[in-house]
Amino acid sequence: MKTLIIHYLPSAENSRTRRLLQAFRANIQGVVRELDLLENQPQFTTPAVKNALFKRSYTGQALNESEQVLVAQNDFFVSELRAADVVVFVYPMHNYGLPAIVKAFFDAVIIKDETFAFEDFTYRGLLTGRRALALITSGGIYEGPEGFSDMDCCFKLHKILCNFVGFDESDVISVQGTDMLPPDQLESRFAEAERAIEDYCAALAPATLVAT
């Protein structure tokens, strides 16, 4: 089993989200690759990039050398996704949504005939046979009766994007309220998330034994 961990942790050593990443690293088995979005910053979809991607996907034309260079990073990211059985996204919520760099990653890989198909006026995700997991922390709380669920464009959008590209399953393990809750309540939320990560990895483990 191959796992790809894609992370954006701008708080570096002080990151609270990193605690979830460390729990995942401690429990996952099989081959693990990591993609740090701060070291591999996704390019924006500039007119030149968009034109090259559209030329290839929508007109079926081969790209010239300079166009291939333009989309090389997009192709690299897509190949990393394709090579994985499990894709894990790790990041904090920013401004009610996915941090821009994480959204830029999704923008870079959501490409027709690479991660989705459009046939008979219907979209179909192409990353089937894989599952996605997100490990997210947020300062506020967006679930439960007192959560600001109508403000959330992060957990919802994350799931929408993962479903769009066809992941068989898309799970989220979050610690919400990092900037609101007293330390003891927050600690119990982290402990609960760590147990959920342990269970998630344990459920994957039999697949590892079959595959190796």
Ligand X SMILES: Cc1cc2nc3c(=O)[nH]c(=O)nc-3n(C[C@H](O)[C@H](O)[C@H](O)COP(=O)(O)O)c2cc1C
> Binding residues for ligand X, per CB under 6 A?
9-11, 15-17, 92-96, 137-140, 178-179
State which amino acid sits at residue 211.
Answer: A
DSSP H or E stretch at residue 198: helix 183-211
Bridge partners of 36, per DSSP, are 7
Q: What CA–CA distance (Å, rounded) separates 201 from 157?
A: 24
Q: How far is the CB of 90 from ligand X (least distance, A)?
A: 9
Minimum CB distance to ligand X smaller for 95 or for 122: 95
Q: How far is the CB of 138 from ligand X (least distance, A)?
A: 4
Minimum CB distance to ligand X smaller for 138 or for 170: 138
Residues 6 or more apart whose Cβ sits within 8 Å of residue 166: 115, 116, 124, 125, 126, 127, 128
Torsion-angle region of 96 (φ positive above 0: left; ψ -120 to 50: alpha; else: beta): left
Minimum CB distance to ligand X smaller for 48 or for 180: 180
Closest CA to 204 of 100, 118, 131: 131
Minimum CB distance to ligand X smaller for 21 or for 204: 21
Q: How far is the CB of 137 from ligand X (least distance, A)?
A: 3
The three-state DSSP-derived secondary structure of 39-92 is CCCCCCCCHHHHHHHHHHHHHCCCCCHHHHHHCHHHHHHHHHHHCCCEEEEEEE
CB 90 within 8 A of CB 9: yes
Q: How far is the CB of 80 from ligand X (least distance, A)?
A: 23
Q: How far is the CB of 25 from ligand X (least distance, A)?
A: 15
Q: How far is the CB of 102 from ligand X (least distance, A)?
A: 12
Minimum CB distance to ligand X smaller for 96 or for 164: 96
Minimum CB distance to ligand X smaller for 74 or for 178: 178
